[in-house]
Amino acid sequence: MDISPILDGFGVVLEPTNLLYCLIGVIIGMLIGVLPGLGPGATIAILLPITYGIGPVSAIIMLAGIFYGAQYGGTITSVLLRLPGEASSVVTVFDGFALAKQGKAGTALGIAAIGSFIGGTVSIIGLTLVAPVVAGFALDFGPPEYAALGILGVLLISSIGNGNKLKAIIAACVGLLIATVGRDTFTGAERFTFGSLNLAEGIDFIPIAMGLFGLSEILYNLEERHNQVHAPAKVGNVWPSRKDLGQASGAIGRGSLIGFVLGVLPGGGAVLSSLAAYALEKRRAKQPERFGKGAVEGVAAPETANNAAATSSFIPLLTLGIPANATMALMFGALLIQGIQPGPQLVTEHPDVFWGVINSMYIGNILLLIMSIPMVGVFVRILRVRPAIMAPITVLITLLGAYTVRNQVYDIFLVIAFGVLGYLMKKFGFEPGPLVLAFVLGSMIESSARQGLLIFGGDPTGFVTRPISGTIFALILAVAAWPLIRKALPRKTSVERVEEKIK
Amino acid sequence: MPTSRTAPRRILLGVVGAAAAVALTACGGVKTTSSGGGDGEYPTGNIEFSVGASAGGSTDLITRALAQGIGKELGVSTPVLNKPGANGALNAKELQSAKPDGYKIAVQNASLFTITPLTVSPAEATKIDSFDVITGISRDDYVMATSAQSGYKSIDDLKKAGKTIRYGTTGVGTGAQLASALTFKTAGIESTAVPFDGGAPNLTALLGNQVDVSTMQIGEAIENIKGGKLVPLAVFSKERIPFLPDVKTAKEQGYDVQVTQYRFLTAPKGTPENVKAKLLDAAKKTFATTEYKKFNEENSLTPMEVSPQEVLTSLQNDSATFKAQLDKYGINLAG
């Protein structure tokens, strides 16, 4: 393996500008991680247009910093207020807050920070080793493989996400439908454009993301007053004792692995891996009843896993150009704004972006470790800011930003329309994530499938006879059939229920 | 801590304020200055260049290089605005209805006027009559290439292969598609077009042997050609291209196919003569700088700094030739 591009990457990161953007990114990430409500997705969506003015490397370094920084910040409120700052820190609440009540808030935060650091670092090392290997295979990924991966991604995000599956599938279908708007790139036929030139090239990703993630969250949070805010628990010594560390070490190791693997999978990511890591620790524990009452592992495992996953989800994006989750879809958009096509050519054509971004994560994680242990008190105070101050400022930044991307007022209206749609979706229990990811993957699925058919001369069996796409399609079948299989399994034990159904 | 009630708010306001400031600076580049009311000699305010494509593409890079030079010559600032959409038609529609005062101009592509009208409805087609051409800028030629493993060296090799050739293009209604379709039809080679969304996916598919050949702009292929990963089969210009001196033209190989992309500076119809003369003069001075010449070379662009009349003649000839050739061979670009 040629390591000179990796070393050059460090050179890129250590440029003062990039270091500064890395710092800005992780600070913003910490901040929004601490503030309940506004998640990393919303923040990245809102800040997308700002990246237009800065170079591609700095921009992605900053956005990545926001993403993994939020994973650190989300812990703080989970532990101190019993209020997860981030969806991926929901499970941390159980044991984190219990520890805080026992006066061990510092221990919980310390363990979480150390776990996050280790999880993040393990995952970056994995990324450094795995990404070039995947990129080497990437040329074998032709249109049929992309079509298969896209379908798998939509299927996974709508079936394994948190929340109502049917609603997730509906949201994903709407996303697929929106992706069909615009001129058909194969025949030039107009689809759902209603004669408008604005719709001729389809609906742009950025206003959709800014509306559905950004504006809708702001609207929703304005309504959700956090009335029952507790006074933050007192933070004592944040350095965990040797005994606590020993107890958490196994959980940190397993959490790193789970996070890394689940982060790579399409539809996976930080939320899923934190849930999985927590469940695994509970199952493995000799006294599972300790969980929920202040088990150190219950904090260490999910916090380690969510950071590892946040990092490893960059692999499919940087090597294949496929966003694994909604936040990565935003990174995809950010690269496109910069005129960089994420895909197999990225590592050879833009090694500075590829390695610069990966290596910035080492630095970012060190910065975050410093910020989350000695400076934790500063971030706790931010919790006192009123939403009435935050909301109008963020709305202004969002709309202003939406305009600057293409300099068209039309885009502002799109953001507002999608903001309202996102707000209504949340009110009725739909997640916007599957919609956004399905939208991004939708056009990829359609064009890749059609390119594949053209390559095969119209013979669809080509999709299953090519080794890689065949394997992916087998996986798709397995995922689609899984609920049926799972349903069938326990029925065997309760024969009567099956008989009842037959009647 | 008794002071902590106000302190956090101040911190946060500071952060948000900084973010807002960043947002505002980001917009700093897009402020549009009014034309200055007509008194005083042109230009008295900013000259805005709009680009009908996103940042990073050839049209964008050329616009930025030219805008920088013209701004320096005329002593005003020249903000560049990207207005991508509908292959540049969106930007063209906006420009043609702008005030013809020389404060809003754009670099436009020939293909928008010569090839796109062949694939869209007549109402949607952009017409060159709605603009004043100020000067020609440069040519961006196409090359047909194959991967090194395929063993093909010329168009005749493709013919000898005796199978359906699958060719990648940079999209429907592009010069890349037109050039390939015409070549295969005149050579009598069975072929299927596989359109990709732009240059990068097209190149990736070719490198990965997903398609047999691809046609793309020279700047997109040249590094891989020099690196030996791609083998060029033909260029579609009238004469050989200095950047690839060993590559035969399609015409040399016996197939009369000439398709090239070129760009020119346009202003809304009815722009005053003295304004156009000023712009032309500034453009010419920019063309002469070593910096700009180096830019052309780095991006494999051939200078085509010709008069407006020559641009118009080229556009007319191309439109007529393409239409006749497509009719003759019964090719439908919209597939």
Question: pLDDT tens digits, residue range B193-223?
Answer: 998 877 778 888 898 899 999 999 898 888 8
Nearest to A186 among B22, B172, B207 (CB): B172
User: Within this chain, do residues B186 and B221 fall inside the same structural domain, yes or no?
Assistant: yes
User: Within this chain, do residues B177 and B249 fall inside the same structural domain, yes or no?
Assistant: yes
Contact A52 B84 (CB under 8 A): no
> Chain B closest CA to A36's CA: distance in Å?
14
The pLDDT score that the predictor gives to residue B184 is 94
The structural domains of chain A, with segments of one domain joined by +, span 4-502
With cut-offs at 50, 70 and 90, classify the pLDDT of residue B95.
very high
Maximum separation of any 2 CA atoms in chain A, in Å:
73
The per-residue b/e assignment along B259-278, b for 16 or more CB within 10 angstroms, e otherwise, is bbbbbbbbbbeebeeebbeb
Chain B residue nearest residue A403, CA to CA: B27
Answer yes or no: is pLDDT of A347 > 60: yes
| Domain span including residue B221 | 141-259
Does B192 contact A at CB distance below 8 Å?
Answer: yes
Nearest to B56 among A339, A345, A397 (CB): A339
Does B203 contact A at CB distance below 8 Å?
Answer: yes
Q: Is the dihedral of CA B286, B288, B290, B296 positive or negative?
A: positive
pLDDT, average across residues B292-313: 93
Q: What is the pLDDT of residues B111-149, one digit of tens each?
A: 999 998 888 777 778 899 999 999 999 999 999 999 998
d(CA A91, CA A302): 7
Q: Are A261 and A65 a contacting pair, CB within 8 Å?
A: no
Interface size between A and B, measured as CB pairs under 8 A:
154
Please say which residue of B207, B242, B259 terminates a domain: B259
Does B272 contact A at CB distance below 8 Å?
Answer: no
Nearest to B200 among A197, A341, A382 (CB): A341
Contact A400 B27 (CB under 8 A): yes
User: Within this chain, do residues B166 and B298 fall inside the same structural domain, yes or no?
Assistant: no
- pLDDT averaged over chain A? 83
Q: Which of A269-273, A394-398, B53-57 has the lowest mean pLDDT?
A: B53-57
pLDDT, average across residues A65-79: 84
Evaluate whether residue B333 is within a structural domain. Answer: no
The pLDDT score that the predictor gives to residue B134 is 96
The pLDDT score that the predictor gives to residue A490 is 63
User: Within this chain, do residues B183 and B243 fall inside the same structural domain, yes or no?
Assistant: yes
Answer yes or no: is pLDDT of A473 > 70: yes
Answer yes or no: is pLDDT of A257 > 80: yes
Contact B208 A397 (CB under 8 A): no
A383 contact residues in B (CB cutoff 8 A): 8
Answer yes or no: is pLDDT of B86 > 80: no
Chain A residue nearest residue B177, CA to CA: A186
User: Within this chain, do residues B145 and B75 fall inside the same structural domain, yes or no?
Assistant: no
pLDDT, average across residues A6-22: 88
Q: ipTM of this model?
A: 0.72
Q: Is the dihedral of CA B59, B61, B62, B68 positive or negative?
A: positive
Residue B285 maps to which CATH number?
3.40.190.150
Maximum separation of any 2 CA atoms in chain B, in Å:
88
> Chain A closest CA to B207's CA: distance in Å?
7
Please say which residue of B225, B243, B259 terminates a domain: B259
Which of A340, A183, A343, A146 is CA-nearest to residue B172?
A: A183
Q: Which of B27, B48, B213, B331 to mutate to test the interface with A (most CBs of A within 10 A)?
A: B27
Please say which residue of B259, B294, B313 terminates a domain: B259
Q: Which of A158-172, A235-249, A298-312, A372-386 has the highest mean pLDDT?
A: A298-312
The pLDDT score that the predictor gives to residue B180 is 94
Nearest to B9 among A141, A338, A385 (CB): A385
Evaluate whether residue B326 is within a structural domain. Answer: no
d(CA B103, CA B42): 9
Chain B residue nearest residue A449, CA to CA: B194
> Chain B closest CA to A382's CA: distance in Å?
5
The pLDDT score that the predictor gives to residue B335 is 56
User: Within this chain, do residues B243 and B199 fall inside the same structural domain, yes or no?
Assistant: yes
Answer yes or no: is pLDDT of A20 > 70: yes
The pLDDT score that the predictor gives to residue A101 is 84
User: Within this chain, do residues B300 and B192 fall inside the same structural domain, yes or no?
Assistant: no
Q: Which residues contact A206 (CB under 8 A, 6 or more apart)?
A: A45, A48, A49, A333, A337, A402, A405, A411
The per-residue b/e assignment along B64-80, b for 16 or more CB within 10 angstroms, e otherwise, is bbbbbbbbebbebbbbb
Contact B83 A397 (CB under 8 A): no
Evaluate whether residue B279 is within a structural domain. Answer: yes
Q: Which of A99-103, A334-338, A400-404, B238-242 has the highest mean pLDDT?
A: B238-242
User: Within this chain, do residues B252 and B289 fall inside the same structural domain, yes or no?
Assistant: no
- pTM beyond cutoff 0.90: no
User: Within this chain, do residues B243 and B189 fall inside the same structural domain, yes or no?
Assistant: yes
Evaluate whether residue B334 is within a structural domain. Answer: no
The pLDDT score that the predictor gives to residue B56 is 67
pLDDT, average across residues B270-278: 94
The pLDDT score that the predictor gives to residue B17 is 45
B205 contact residues in A (CB cutoff 8 A): 142-143, 451
Does B200 contact A at CB distance below 8 Å?
Answer: yes
User: Within this chain, do residues B145 and B252 fall inside the same structural domain, yes or no?
Assistant: yes
Residue B163 maps to which CATH number?
3.40.190.10
Identify the bridge partners of residue B50 per DSSP, sorted by sequence position.
B81, B106
Answer yes or no: is pLDDT of B26 > 70: no
Answer yes or no: is pLDDT of A491 > 90: no
Evaluate whether residue B329 is within a structural domain. Answer: no
Q: Which of A79-88, A363-372, A396-405 has the lowest mean pLDDT?
A: A79-88
pLDDT, average across residues A112-119: 91
Per the structure, the count of domains in chain B is 2
Q: Which residue has the higher pLDDT, A464 or A235?
A: A464
Contact A345 B203 (CB under 8 A): yes
Q: Which of A451, A463, A468 to mutate to test the interface with B (most CBs of B within 10 A)?
A: A451
Answer yes or no: is pLDDT of B22 > 50: no
Phi then psi for residue B99, to 5 deg, are: -65, 130
Answer yes or no: is pLDDT of A256 > 90: yes
User: Within this chain, do residues B69 and B114 fall inside the same structural domain, yes or no?
Assistant: yes
User: Within this chain, do residues B102 and B14 fall inside the same structural domain, yes or no?
Assistant: yes
β B48-51/B131-147 pair status: unpaired
Answer yes or no: is pLDDT of A229 > 70: no
Q: Which of A26, A406, A446, A468 to mutate to test the interface with B (most CBs of B within 10 A)?
A: A406
Contact B8 A200 (CB under 8 A): no
pLDDT, average across residues A185-205: 80
With cut-offs at 50, 70 and 90, classify the pLDDT of residue A161.
low
> Chain B closest CA to A152's CA: distance in Å?
21
d(CA B213, CA B176): 11
Q: Which residues contact A320 (CB under 8 A, 6 or more apart)?
A: A134, A138, A141, A146, A149, A343, A344
Q: Say how far residue A245 (Cα) sits from the centre of its chain.
A: 28
